[in-house]
Chain A
Amino acid sequence: MKKSTLLKNGAMLPLDDLDILDYSVFTTELLQAKRENARISAYFARPAEEDRLEIFALMSRDWQEDFLLLRTSVGRHFKSLTPDCPQLHLFEREIAEQYGVKIEGHPWFKPVRFHQPWRAGEDAWGRDPAQHPVPGDMEFYRVDGEEVHEVAVGPVHAGIIEPGHFRFQCHGEEVMSLEISLGFQHRGLEPLFVGGPHPATLHQVEVLAGDTTIGHSSNYALILEALSASPAPPRGKAIRALALELERLANHVGDVGALSGDVGYLPTASFCGRIRGDYLNLTAEICGSRFGRGLVLPGGVGFDLDDSLRNQLLKRLAVMERETRGAIELFYESPSVLARLDGIGLVSADIAEAFGMVGVAARASGLPRDSRMHHPIGAYPREYDQLVIEERGDVYDRANIRRREIYNSISLVRHLLRNLPTGEALMPQRPLAPDSLAVAITEGWRGEVVHVGLTDSAGRFNRYKVVDPSFRNWNGLAIALRGEQISDFPLCNKSFNLSYCGFDL
């Protein structure tokens, strides 16, 4: 009897091929896979008959280059897996909030985004299900004692930045604990996808996290292409990869600039502030939008590059590479700057592993995790070998990962521009297969972006699950602050640079 299924990035399968395991079997299999180094990439529920929920676990087996998919069914109460698998702690809280189920034995059972349950009936915390909850209304972790004080920041912060709420428990300057409460950005996106794809779905996907437009829209395109068995042509794939690397460049360069600003080192801050815009402008040359809106379409890309545009981009890239290196090396060659970053905001490999961290933050803590290498798709070669890792997991390492990735991405962009495959950039799409599931993972600039699409008998989405890398990494920031000075918060925060709306959805 088939219990679970293995599948590749960008693959689909009929839901009938996936058995509904008994919860205890599901649990055993999941924990067994975890012991064999598989990690949770997505974990979500959808309503089933009567009062039941179906839970799907998508586990990444990085070195086998595939995913293990498990499915189970639960009622209104079930036992938490978080104590045995801390990676699940937010995923379980999310399910409880969305469907009003109680997850027994969860060690940190609190709301995630502060919205009403998606189906009639109970609220998991006994709040009135007819009333919209108040954001941040929960019991925060507290430390008591004579010299202990609490600092509360947000949702409105000092700069032009998205809203979130941070509670520090401090002893003098030292932070003993930081708890982060998000949800202010919750726009209710996942339910909007149900019944789709709608004409607005693509635009909504593009703004799941606006600075990751290409990352998210590439995944959405992959899901539709998988479900309709109509893949994008090589040229379309190459232009997508190009755009994804430009997105990485703009954001990484911007982050180095922002870190530089936070340590008060202004040359790099102002150079990078501008150069970031230059990378956005390259994307705008391709598709008219600095953020890549309208570029990635199911079936390929909406904009092609002719030779003159390609040459123009190559020329501009050559100038920008010199300027980027100049601005960045200045930063990394200043001992006073490095001293400020060194050893600050440590996240150990064990912690990163336990929380299932991904992307830049995971690689800085020594975890080799990069879906371009482990789950290559599109124009990424199977032997992609540009994965960069650092060991210590401090602000310096998170910054240095960016520096190294910036240089890698520049050469990748140049390579893609020089070797653009010929042919069409966009292929027509067929209708979606009914009662099926497809998975797509893209290595966005922050880390792995995961989408899972499930269709109903009419080939419309009846569940569309999105996991932004921020969902896995916000806890890393909270941990990084432990034992640090509260004045190091901005620096730690910038070194992660996580998305609020990507988390809140």
Chain B
Amino acid sequence: MLKIIPERLRQGHRTGKFPKEEPVLPERFRGAPLIDPNRCQSGCTECLSACPYGAVELKGGKPQLDLGRCLFCADCPVCPHGAIHFSSDYRLASRTREGLLASAEGHQLASALDGQMKRLFGRSLKLRQVCAGGCNACEADLNVLGTLVYDLGRFGIQFVASPRHADGILITGPVTKNMRSALLETYAAIPAPKLVIASGACAIGGGPLCDSPEVNNGIGDLLPVDLYIPGCPPHPYTALDGLLRLLGQL
């Protein structure tokens, strides 16, 4: 018993300073892409076929990367001319599916809820999480938000056990056929008004499981999504940043 005290002192106080201070991420971390269309060679379409998930498109001849489809997989081979690079910017979440399309100008960062919704949820948001086929990496990095480094509770956000106690649902996984009805029932059990958050490439569009006959390619039209958090899995700071933006706390 007495040993707890010196150990407690030795382990120290570890709650991160986010959002007052920027988090330090590993040098090799891959976040928001930097796109430089000036480097594109005329007539080149190599990026279109290079990504197995079709994350890159040419919009008016300029490359556009869909953060919702991208896995931020290592050493992205999509552009041999260096027009697409990954920065270490972890801020990826957006309110709309279109907002995830990154171009030379970047992408659309999540905006705050408006009026009534912000009054309701801005300072206290209870979420029910449903894993609908996630590989457990997304789930693990959400669980991390509850540890003392991120300390989600200090922002008034909490994961709760019952959908009846929840203000919204946070979904991971590509929505397997076998989880579809459990997901919809859980959503139905949440009192309105309610929020839907899609976390991870799987939930947004199927991720690496995209087009498997056993999955729904993410939430799609099943539910109206209020916040998309990209990544495979999203870094805990990506999720935290998205949630705080949604609540107007950033």
Q: Is A431 an interface residue (CB 8 A)?
A: no
Q: Is A267 an interface residue (CB 8 A)?
A: yes
Give the interface residue-count category, chain B.
Answer: 35 or more
Question: A160-B143, A270-B147, A295-B74 are contacts. A207–B214 as well, Cβ < 8 Å?
Answer: no
Instruction: Determine if A326 and B75 form an interchain contact, defined as CB atoms under 8 angstroms apart.
Output: no
Bound-state Cα–Cα, A109 to B148, Å: 46
Smallest CB separation, A276 vs chain B (Å): 8
Instruction: Determine if A303 and B28 form an interchain contact, defined as CB atoms under 8 angstroms apart.
Output: yes
A210: which of B138, B179, B212 is its contact (CB, 8 Å)?
A: B138
Instruction: Determine if A187 and B147 form an interchain contact, defined as CB atoms under 8 angstroms apart.
Output: no
Bound-state Cα–Cα, A302 to B28, Å: 12
Question: A277-B147, A291-B233, A302-B75 are contacts. A185–B11 as well, Cβ < 8 Å?
Answer: no
Q: Is B137 an interface residue (CB 8 A)?
A: yes
Number of A-B contacts (CB under 8 A): 180
B182: which of A156, A160, A281, A499 is its contact (CB, 8 Å)?
A: A156
Contacts of B140 in A (CB 8 A): 210-211, 254
What number of A residues sit within 8 Å (CB to CB) of B?
A: 65
The SS class assigned to the A binding surface is loop
Bound-state Cα–Cα, A147 to B179, Å: 33
Instruction: Determine if B213 and A211 form an interchain contact, defined as CB atoms under 8 angstroms apart.
Output: no
Q: What 0/1 readout, one digit per residue, does chain B (139-161) give for beta carbons within 8 Å of chain A?
A: 11111101111000000000101
Pick out which of these stretches binds chain B: A47-55, A327-335, A383-391. Answer: A327-335
Instruction: Determine if A132 and B73 form an interchain contact, defined as CB atoms under 8 angstroms apart.
Output: no
Bound-state Cα–Cα, A204 to B245, Å: 31
Question: A184-B176, A270-B147, A277-B147 are contacts. A287–B134 as well, Cβ < 8 Å?
Answer: no
Contacts of A281 in B (CB 8 A): 26
Instruction: Determine if A274 and B10 form an interchain contact, defined as CB atoms under 8 angstroms apart.
Output: no
Which A285-344 residues have a C-beta within 8 angstroms of B? 285-291, 293-295, 302-303, 322-323, 326-327, 330, 333-334
Contacts of A334 in B (CB 8 A): 1
Contacts of B136 in A (CB 8 A): 162, 209-211, 499-501
Contacts of A189 in B (CB 8 A): 209, 212
Instruction: Determine if A187 and B176 form an interchain contact, defined as CB atoms under 8 angstroms apart.
Output: yes
Bound-state Cα–Cα, A289 to B30, Å: 8
Question: A284-B28, A293-B232 are contacts. A203–B131 as well, Cβ < 8 Å?
Answer: no
Q: Is B120 an interface residue (CB 8 A)?
A: no
Bound-state Cα–Cα, A185 to B131, Å: 9
Bound-state Cα–Cα, A319 to B207, Å: 36
Bound-state Cα–Cα, A451 to B3, Å: 45
Instruction: Determine if B176 and A330 form an interchain contact, defined as CB atoms under 8 angstroms apart.
Output: no
Bound-state Cα–Cα, A273 to B236, Å: 14
Bound-state Cα–Cα, A66 to B141, Å: 38
Give A326's nearest chain B residue, CB to CB: B7
Instruction: Determine if B11 and A273 form an interchain contact, defined as CB atoms under 8 angstroms apart.
Output: no
Q: Is B218 an interface residue (CB 8 A)?
A: no
B139: which of A162, A254, A295 is its contact (CB, 8 Å)?
A: A162
Bound-state Cα–Cα, A288 to B14, Å: 22
Question: A163-B179, A188-B213, A284-B28 are contacts. A200–B1 as well, Cβ < 8 Å?
Answer: no
Contacts of B174 in A (CB 8 A): 187
Instruction: Determine if A160 and B74 form an interchain contact, defined as CB atoms under 8 angstroms apart.
Output: no
Bound-state Cα–Cα, A160 to B182, Å: 15
Smallest CB separation, A273 vs chain B (Å): 4
A289: which of B74, B143, B178 is its contact (CB, 8 Å)?
A: B74
B208: which of A115, A207, A254, A333 is its contact (CB, 8 Å)?
A: A207
Instruction: Determine if A288 and B178 form an interchain contact, defined as CB atoms under 8 angstroms apart.
Output: no
Q: Is A206 an interface residue (CB 8 A)?
A: yes
Question: A185-B176, A209-B135, A211-B137 are contacts. A156–B186 as well, Cβ < 8 Å?
Answer: yes
Bound-state Cα–Cα, A114 to B129, Å: 23
Q: What 0/1 readout, one digit per residue, does chain A (261-279) give for beta carbons within 8 Å of chain B?
A: 0000001001101100100
Smallest CB separation, B91 vs chain A (Å): 16
Kindly name the residue among A155, A158, A284, A499 whose own CB sees the greatest number of chain B CB atoms within 10 A: A155
Which A118-158 residues have a C-beta within 8 angstroms of B? 132, 135, 155-156, 158
Smallest CB separation, B244 vs chain A (Å): 19
Give B215's nearest chain A residue, CB to CB: A187
Q: Is B95 an interface residue (CB 8 A)?
A: no
**17 A/B residue pairs, CB under 8 Å, sorted by A:** A159-B143, A163-B179, A185-B131, A186-B178, A187-B176, A200-B52, A200-B53, A203-B71, A211-B140, A273-B144, A284-B28, A291-B137, A293-B71, A326-B7, A499-B136, A500-B136, A501-B133
The list of the 7 closest CB pairs from A to B, nearest first, reads A294-B74, A210-B137, A210-B135, A188-B214, A288-B28, A158-B161, A199-B52
Given A289-B29, A326-B11, 6 more pairs with CB closer than 8 A: A115-B178, A160-B159, A162-B131, A189-B212, A288-B26, A289-B30
